[in-house]
Amino acid sequence: MTTIVTYGTFDLFHVGHVRLLKRLKALGDRLVVGLSSDEFNEVKGKQVVIPYEDRREILLACRYVDAVFEENCWDQKRGDLIREHADIFAIGDDWAGKFDELEDIAKVIYLPRTKDISTTELKTVLSYLNKEKVVEIKNVVNNLTSLVEHL
Ligand code: C2G
146 has pLDDT over 90: yes
Res 128: pLDDT = 86
Instruction: Calculate how far, in angstroms, residue 139's C-alpha sits from the geometric centre of ligand 1.
Output: 40
151 has pLDDT over 90: no
Instruction: Calculate how far, in angstroms, residue 116's C-alpha sits from the geometric centre of ligand 1.
Output: 14
**Does the active-site annotation cover 46?**
yes
Answer yes or no: is the C-beta of 8 below 6 A from any ligand 1 atom: yes
Answer yes or no: is the C-beta of 76 below 6 A from any ligand 1 atom: no
- Taking the domains of the chain in order of start, what are their residue ranges? 3-113, 118-151
Answer yes or no: is the C-beta of 20 below 6 A from any ligand 1 atom: yes
126 has pLDDT over 90: no
CATH of 3-113, one of 3.40.50.970, 3.30.2310.20, 3.30.70.60, 3.40.50.620: 3.40.50.620
The tens digit of pLDDT for each residue in 51-110 reads 999 999 999 999 999 999 999 999 999 999 999 999 999 999 999 999 999 999 999 999
**Does the active-site annotation cover 138?**
no
pTM tops 0.85, yes or no: yes
Res 127: pLDDT = 87
The residues pairing with 35 across neighbouring beta strands, listed in sequence order, are 8, 70
Q: Which residues contact 111 (CB under 8 A, 6 or more apart)?
A: 20, 23, 24, 90, 91, 92, 93
Residue nearest to atom 16 of ligand 1 (CA): 8
